[in-house]
């Protein structure tokens, strides 16, 4: 029986993780849960799963939850509460399903405490890749990626030697605006941008998929997770989203991971690794699927992808600045303050104003993030419609 802590249990990945735990009650038990402030859902999850401890980021929401659940369960609060929850010795596996760079501190806390980590929070690796990958090596931590592409690559790499890998091929659906030109993207609405053709996800990653920033963040995530140079990571658009990624080996063999477009497959694998458990998500009918197609990512009409690759190549604190400016720009777009095409403008101008530093110090990263958010907010005011 694995005791599981889910950070961000009220989100898209978090709720699907809860489903997996409920599907395999003899294998998994929810030990800890967390939310930012959605305590209505958190309370339901507490009643259903009976965890021993929860954490709530928002102080007022934590106070209200304590009032509702009485003394029956410990409620931790704030970022310190999240870090404590991530490192409690009673849990065997921590699932980090928090969105954004807020996930970095809990990622570090979980690895430092020697936890097995199922990592959905890609921003941890984008912002703190150097620190987190060094910590993983130092602690010999087991980190299983949840992101479908990285989970696919992780599965392809099982039983293979690192020297045999020639390249990683990350696939992407192309998002809801694939095939559109920049002029056509000028007036797209929040609703259109959130309507992903293949995946049902949280709002932030849905917008990242629409701008293609998501693929750029995933390239950085793959670089740090698998220790592979950027020039050996390729991205190909595969609109059917059945091949979740591929790895080419030096003898010319290419391994691919295929399956339904459903996050419960990689989540379950991350929970059950190294075993496989049964699932209703079997029976993919290839003759029904028809064709698989592939094309190059569109760098001209989706500038966020190239911005991410440039930040990745420039390294140091550029990826942290890219991420912070992106988070601010997306929040402003979701609030309908700026247009969809303002997102890359905000990011590129923030990057252009940045004086890079080494990214191996958490204090420096935090300060750089703070600066980048402030800079991006200034630009948002200038670009507000
Ligand atoms: N969704 C997918 O299919 C998918 C696929 C691949 C990778 N991922 C990655 O998985 C992560 C989670 O994505 P998601 O789509 O599940 O996000 P989501 O639906 O927005 O859920 C985010 C979760 O994190 C909590 N949270 C938000 N801000 C927080 C903060 N500042 N501090 C602590 N907790 C916070 C939320 O609590 P409240 O509910 O209280 O706000 C919620 O529980 C992201 O890094 C994303 O890139 C997601």
Mutation choice for ligand 1 from 5, 6, 10, 11, CB with most ligand atoms inside 8 A: 11
What's the pLDDT at 198?
80
pLDDT tens readout for residues 60-90:
999 999 999 988 899 999 999 999 999 999 9
- Domain assignment present for residue 264? The answer is no
Q: Are residues 40 and 142 in the same domain?
A: yes
CATH number of residue 130's parent domain: 3.40.50.720
Q: Tell me if 277 is assigned to some domain.
A: no
- Do residues 141 and 241 share a domain? no
Last residue in a domain, options 146, 174, 203: 146
Average pLDDT, the chain: 97
CA torsion through residues 30, 268, 116, 362, sign: negative
Q: Is the CB of 342 under 6 A from ligand 1?
A: no
Per the structure, the complete domain to which residue 45 belongs is given by 2-146
Q: Distance (Å, rounded) from C-alpha 381 to C-alpha 372?
A: 14
Would the pLDDT of 125 be above 80? yes
Let me know whether 239 and 371 are in one domain. yes
Work out which ligand 1 atom sits closest to the CA atom of 263: 3
The 10s digit of each residue's pLDDT in 178-221 is 999 999 999 999 999 999 888 789 999 999 999 999 999 999 99
Do 142 and 173 reside in the same domain of the chain?
no
Long-range contacts of 284-289 (CB under 8 A, 24+ apart): 284/242, 284/258, 284/259, 284/260, 289/240, 289/242
Q: Using the 3D structure, point to which of 146, 175, 210 is the last residue of a domain.
A: 146
Are 113 and 72 in the same domain?
Answer: yes
Query: pLDDT by residue (tens digit) across 28-39?
Result: 999 999 999 999
As a whole number of angstroms, the distance between CA 69 and CA 78 comes to: 18
**Does residue 81 line the site of ligand 1, with CB under 6 A?**
no
- Residue 155 lies inside a defined structural domain of this protein: no
Residue at which a domain ends, from 146, 180, 200: 146
Question: pLDDT band at 334, cuts 50/70/90?
Answer: very high
| Whether residue 188 is found in the same domain as residue 139 | no
Domain count, the chain: 2
Instruction: Please measure the distance between the N-terminal and C-terminal CA atoms of the chain and give it in whole angstroms.
Output: 53
Site to substitute for ligand 1 among 6, 13, 96, most atoms within 8 A of C-beta: 13
| Residue 31 covered by a domain | yes
Residue with tokens 């929070």: 121
**Do 140 and 173 have their domain in common?**
no
Residue with tokens 């980021």: 57
Are both 94 and 138 inside the same structural domain?
A: yes
- Unique residue bearing structure tokens 């059945």: 242
Please indicate, yes or no, if residue 44 is contained in any of the structural domains: yes
Whole-number percent of the chain with pLDDT over 90: 97
Neighbours of 7 (CB within 10 A): 31
pTM of the model: 0.98
Q: 132 lies in a domain?
A: yes
Q: Are residues 55 and 131 in the same domain?
A: yes
In the reported structure, the alpha carbon of residue 8 is separated from the centroid of ligand 1 by a whole-number distance in angstroms of 6
Residue-wise pLDDT for 233-244, tens only, equals 999 999 999 999
| Within-domain flag for 59 | yes
Q: Which atom of ligand 1 lies at the shortest distance from residue 201's CA?
A: 1
Do residues 132 and 208 share a domain?
Answer: no
- Considering the domain architecture, whether residues 172 and 296 belong to the same structural domain is answered as yes
- Do 235 and 106 share a domain, yes or no? no
CATH number, position 193: 1.10.1740.10
Cα angle 119, 55, 205 (rounded to 5 degrees) comes to: 40
Does the beta carbon of 173 sit less than 6 angstroms from any atom of ligand 1? no
Which pLDDT belongs to residue 277?
Answer: 98
Q: What does the pLDDT read at residue 192?
A: 96
Q: Is residue 151 part of a domain?
A: no
Tokens of 148: 């479908």
């Amino acid at each position: 029986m694995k005791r599981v802590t889910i950070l961000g249990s009220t989100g898209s990945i978090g709720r699907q993780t809860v489903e997996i735990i409920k599907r395999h009650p003899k294998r998994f038990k929810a030990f800890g849960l967390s939310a930012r402030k959605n305590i209505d859902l958190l309370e339901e999850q507490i009643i259903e799963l009976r965890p021993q401890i929860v954490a709530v980021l928002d102080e007022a929401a934590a106070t209200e939850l304590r009032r509702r659940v009485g003394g029956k369960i410990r409620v931790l609060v704030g970022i310190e509460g999240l870090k404590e929850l991530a490192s409690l010795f009673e849990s065997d596996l921590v699932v980090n399903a928090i969105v954004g760079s807020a996930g970095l501190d809990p990622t570090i806390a979980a690895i430092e405490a020697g936890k097995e980590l199922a990592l959905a929070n890609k921003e941890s690796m984008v912002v703190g890749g150097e620190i987190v990958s060094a910590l993983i090596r130092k602690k010999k931590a087991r980190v299983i990626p949840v992101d479908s592409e990285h989970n696919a690559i992780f599965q392809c790499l099982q039983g293979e030697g690192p020297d045999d890998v020639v390249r990683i091929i990350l696939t992407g659906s192309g998002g809801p605006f694939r095939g559109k030109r920049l002029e056509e993207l000028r007036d797209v609405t929040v609703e259109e941008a959130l309507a992903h053709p293949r995946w049902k996800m949280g709002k932030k990653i849905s917008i990242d998929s629409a701008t293609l920033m998501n693929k750029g963040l995933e390239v950085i995530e793959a670089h740090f997770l698998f220790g592979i140079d950027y020039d050996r990571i390729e991205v190909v658009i595969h609109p059917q989203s059945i091949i979740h990624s591929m790895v080419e080996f030096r003898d010319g063999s290419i391994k691919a991971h295929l399956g339904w477009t459903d996050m419960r497959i990689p989540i379950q694998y991350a929970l059950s690794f190294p075993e496989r458990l049964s699932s209703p998500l079997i029976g993919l009918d290839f003759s029904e699927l028809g064709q698989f197609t592939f094309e190059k990512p569109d760098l001209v009409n989706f500038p966020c992808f190239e911005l991410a690759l440039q930040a990745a190549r420039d390294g140091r604190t550029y990826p942290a600045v890219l991420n912070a400016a992106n988070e601010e720009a997306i929040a402003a777009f979701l609030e309908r303050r700026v247009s969809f095409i303002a997102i890359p403008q905000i990011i590129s101008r923030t990057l252009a104003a940045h004086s890079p530093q080494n990214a191996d110090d958490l204090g420096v990263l935090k300060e750089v993030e703070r600066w980048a958010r402030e800079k991006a907010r200034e630009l948002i005011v200038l670009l507000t419609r």
